[in-house]
Amino acid sequence: MEWRVEPGLLDYAAGVEDMTKRAEAIAAGTARERIWLVEHPPLYTAGTSAVKSDLIVPRFPVYETGRGGQYTYHGPGQRVVYLNLDLGRRGRDVRRFVQAIERWVIAALADLEVQAWTAEGRIGVWTHDCQGGEAKIAAVGVRVRKWVTLHGLAINVAPDLGHYNGIVPCGIRTFGVTSLASLGKPANMAMMDAALLTHAPAMLRAIQAPSDTPSRPIP
C-alpha cells in the first residue's frame, strides 16, 4: 500500500490520468494499491448523475468525470483523496467500501473536534454549520473498474466556500456546505492528513467483507 501526499496544486486532468493508469496496473497485478492525497486548482466536476440545470454559473473549468454523483467543487484548501484499492481481494462489496470511507472521514473529523455523520438518502458526510443547520463537510464519489476503485472523497478543510455558488452541490438544494475553517476548528491540511492516516488501517479492515458474504455485482 502506498500513501502519497502530492505537493502543490495538481492539474485535474493529469490527476485523473494518473489515477486511471494506476487502477489499470493494479488490476493487472503490476502495481500496489494507493491512497493519494491531493489539492486541485478551482474547478467543477460532473459525475454520472449530474443534471445540467445544477450548473448555475460555470465560474471555473468543468470536467465530466466517471465517478458517481452529481456536480461538486474542488479547489485549494480542500483535501481530495483518490483511492486506488483492489476490491477483488477485499471482498467485492461496493456498498461496504462506500460505508467504510464515510466512517473513515467521520473518525478523522472527530480527531479535529468535529462531530459528523451520514444522513439517509444523502451521500457524503454531514455536520452542523455555525447556524446549527446541517451542512455537508465531505463529499464521496467513487467508481469501480475491474474491481479496482477510482476517485474517492473530498473534505473541506479551508476552501473558499463561495466557490460552491456556481453549482448545486451534489444536487441538494436544501442544505449548504461547510468547512473546518468556517466552524472555527483547526484548518491545517497536515492535521487533516494525520487524522486520516491514523484511521486508515481501520478503514481498510472495514472494506474487507466476511469470507461467507456473497460477492455483489458492480452497479
Highest average pLDDT, of 53-67, 76-90, 123-137, 203-217, comes from: 76-90
Between the CA of residue 12 and those of 16, 30, 213, what are the distances in Å?
6, 24, 37
Higher pLDDT, 69 or 190: 190
Query: 150-207: per-residue pLDDT in tens?
Result: 999 999 999 999 999 999 876 666 688 999 999 999 779 999 999 999 999 999 999 9
The amino acid that residue 59 corresponds to is R
**Within-domain flag for 214:** no
Residue with cell 468556517: 182
Query: Is 219 among the domain residues?
Result: no
- Residue 213 clears pLDDT 90, i.e. is over it: no
- The answer to whether 83 and 105 have CB atoms below 8 angstroms apart is no
Higher pLDDT, 145 or 48: 145
For residue 213, tell me if it sits in a domain: no
59 in a structural domain: yes
pLDDT at res. 138: 97
Instruction: Please give the positions annotated as active site.
Output: 170
Give a yes or no: residue 43 inside a domain: yes
* Distance (Å, whole) CA 178 – CA 55: 19
Please, what is the average pLDDT of the chain?
91
Q: Is 217 a member of any domain?
A: no
Instruction: Report how far residue 137's alpha carbon sits from residue 116's, in angstroms, rounded to the nearest whole number.
Output: 8
Query: What is the per-residue pLDDT for 216?
Result: 43
Q: Is the dihedral of CA 81, 87, 90, 92 positive or negative?
A: positive
What is the rounded distance in angstroms from the CA atom of residue 184 to the CA atom of residue 128? 12
* Greatest CA separation for the chain: 50
Q: Are 204 and 84 in contact (CB under 8 A)?
A: no
pLDDT of residue 209: 64
H or E stretch at 125: strand 122-128
Q: Band the pLDDT of 97: cuts 50, 70, 90.
A: very high
Instruction: Tell me which of 46 and 193 has the higher pLDDT.
Output: 193
Q: How many CB atoms lie within 10 A of CB 115?
A: 9
In the chain, how many domains are there? Answer: 1
Residue 203 in domain: yes
Helix (H) or strand (E) holding 23: helix 12-28
Specify if 138 maps to a domain: yes
Q: What is the mean pLDDT of residues 81-85?
A: 98
Q: Give the domain extent around 177.
A: 2-207
- Of the ranges 1-10, 13-22, 30-39, 172-181, which one carries the lowest mean pLDDT score? 172-181
Residue 215 pLDDT more than 50? no
Q: What is the pLDDT of residue 172?
A: 63
**pLDDT for 98-155, tens place per residue?**
999 999 999 999 999 999 999 988 889 999 998 889 999 999 999 999 999 999 999 9
Whether the per-residue pLDDT at 219 is higher than 80: the answer is no
The CATH code of the domain that includes 105 is: 3.30.930.10
